[in-house]
Amino acid sequence: METRTLGTNGLAVSKIGFGCMGLSFGYNQTSPVTHADAVALLRAAVEAGVTFFDTAEVYGPWTNERLLGEALAPFKGKVVIATKFGFALDPAKSPPMTGMNSRPEQIRKVAEESCQRLGVEALDLFYQHRVDPAVPIEDVAGTVGDLIREGKVRHFGLSEASAATIRRAHAVQPVAALQSEYSLWTRDVEAEILPTCNELGIGFVPFSPLGKGFLTGTIEKGKTFGAGDIRAGIVRFQGDAYDNNLALVRLLESIGQDKGATPGQIALAWLMAQGPSIVPIPGTTRLHRMEENTAAAAIALSPADLARIEQAAAAIEVQGDRYPPALMAAVDKG
């Protein structure tokens, strides 16, 4: 698979990464993937050319990092693992997040413990998972900068940060990558955040690039989501909003028919066409879906294809927030 570079410090990763959250957190945990199958899936992703894997201490919590540490141990030095700090956690609660915590001592604690769980000496990419309004971003960036100088972290990242916050952090410690939700049904970042990243030389990592599965066209109306599945509380998947938003799937299906590709592959190809340092991280628990996602790296959309998508998408007003209210409140407004 081709590689792309995140940021200006030479962090080279596969053109498509793998978002690992759903292997142990956030989606249906009524019938979760087995540990053995998850390990096999991650190793198959490496064999398919994926070198960029995304996790976080909160996923599980903690179990996702341990899973990656075991699965990717045979590939040390050949893969890039991104993980995150920033939430206060109580494993007795569901979900386990009880607020934000990006105090310098907490960042250091998470870095040490994440290294242990992942079985690595240094973290390749260390994101602040969400901006903590109680801690100046300059203090966060400075702490991660110290960890970089100490050899415990290689690159600094932010997630769901505003353009203003990105600039303040980058002035203290260069940001290699920003991770935020981006897809054909979530395009908020195009107004200010993507231009800021392009100006500052920051890579962009879209999470939920398939609209939490919606853009694949495989989620039927009225679907009952299992225990622990975040989509159960998202209006976009329900009622009239679902009917309205289905127009995006029909658009992707139409383009896909001409390309011999699935709607999900066209959604990923569209994202990668938005810039040379954009690296989406679709996630899945199924081998055939991983193979489908990684194959999208070879799909080239022509200027005419992109213009057709843009014209049709402009006439579709997506209905419903992308998160339940409590999670929307955690998005940084600058």
Looking up residue 30, the CATH number of its domain turns out to be 3.20.20.100
Of 156 and 7, the structure prediction assigns the larger pLDDT to 156
* Predicted confidence (pLDDT) at residue 325 exceeds the cutoff of 90: no
Within a domain: residue 329?
no
Q: Is 165 in a helix, a strand, or coil?
A: helix
pLDDT band at 104 (very low <50, low <70, confident <90, very high): very high
What pLDDT was estimated at residue 265? 98
List the Cα angle 30/35/39 in 5-degree steps: 130
What would the mean pLDDT of 118-122 be, rounded to a whole number?
98
What pLDDT was estimated at residue 203? 98
Within a domain: residue 61?
yes
Within a domain: residue 54?
yes
Catalytic residues, which ones? 59
What would the mean pLDDT of 301-315 be, rounded to a whole number?
96
Of 151 and 97, the structure prediction assigns the larger pLDDT to 151
Distance CA 227, CA 27 (A): 8
Whole-model pTM over 0.85? yes
Within a domain: residue 252?
no
Within a domain: residue 262?
no
What pLDDT was estimated at residue 42? 98
Domain limits for position 290: 3-212+226-232+274-299
Please state the domain count of the chain: 1
Within a domain: residue 197?
yes
In single-letter form, the type of residue at position 310 comes to: E
The answer to which of 85-99, 182-196, 300-314 has the lowest mean pLDDT is 85-99
Q: What is the mean pLDDT of the chain?
A: 95
Distance CA 85, CA 158 (A): 10
* Predicted confidence (pLDDT) at residue 94 exceeds the cutoff of 80: no
DSSP string, 80-148: EEEEEE-EEE-TTSSS-EEEE---HHHHHHHHHHHHHHHT-SSBSEEEESS--TTS-HHHHHHHHHHHH
Which phi and psi angles does 175 have, rounded to 5°?
-90, 125
Within a domain: residue 57?
yes
What pLDDT was estimated at residue 11? 97
The CA radius of gyration of the chain, in Å to the nearest whole number, is 19
* Predicted confidence (pLDDT) at residue 78 exceeds the cutoff of 80: yes
Distance CA 115, CA 98 (A): 23
* Predicted confidence (pLDDT) at residue 30 exceeds the cutoff of 80: no
pLDDT digits (tens, 9 = 90+) for 198-232: 999 999 999 999 999 999 999 999 998 987 889 99
Within a domain: residue 135?
yes
What pLDDT was estimated at residue 333? 86
What would the mean pLDDT of 243-253 be, rounded to a whole number?
97
Cα distances (Å, whole numbers) of residue 327 to 12, 66, 90, 95, 136: 31, 25, 17, 11, 21
Rounded to 5, what percent of the chain is helix, strand, coil?
45, 15, 40
* Predicted confidence (pLDDT) at residue 29 exceeds the cutoff of 80: no
What pLDDT was estimated at residue 274? 98
